[in-house]
Amino acid sequence: MAATKIRLTKKVEQLQIALGQGKTGIMPKNLIAQVSQVDSRFDFVVLNKGLVDKVTLNGELLIHSNNKFICKVRVTKVLKNSCVCDIMPTTRPKFPEGHVKAGEFLMPVIGDEAVVPGI
């Protein structure tokens, strides 16, 4: 009975990771990446770091532009030299009142920097 429970627990954890719902991946503390592609329709970005740089599935990074916070992202796919990250919607600030895009969410742009939280 206990062995079955352990096996099922591990299977659930594997499925959660595959669906991007698992534990946060451990990322190298000194990792700095740049946004190389942005998809505003599906709220994801591509970063220029990947397996070679020890990027891990479910790792989290903060994206900023000129020291201004843009959003937090979670790695959903890791390739050799790049990774795909979903933008975490609850972390995105909106443009302030008086701005041409007031009320719209800030979006990363190509060239913005992504860092591991805590640097």
Which parts of the chain register pLDDT below 70? Answer: 1-23, 95-96, 98-103, 119
Report how far apart, in Å, the C-alpha atoms of 32 and of each of 15, 63, 107, 108 are. 29, 10, 19, 15
Give all strands (DSSP E) within 48-107, no chain letters. Answer: 60-65, 68-78, 83-87
Q: Per residue in 33-44, pLDDT tens?
A: 999 999 988 999
Separation of alpha carbons 11 and 36, rounded Å: 34
CATH code, 23-115: 2.40.10
Is the separation of the CB atoms in 62 and 72 below 8 Å?
A: yes
pTM > 0.95: yes or no:
no
The per-residue pLDDT for range 83-95, each reduced to its tens digit, is: 999 999 877 777 6
Q: Is 73 helix (H, G, I), strand (E, B) or coil?
A: strand
Domain map of the chain by residue range?
A: 23-115
d(CA 5, CA 11): 10
User: How open is the CA angle 37-84-94, to the nearest 5 degrees?
Assistant: 65
**Phi then psi dihedrals of residue 24, to 5 deg:** -65, 130
Do the beta carbons of residue 63 and residue 113 sit within 8 Å? yes
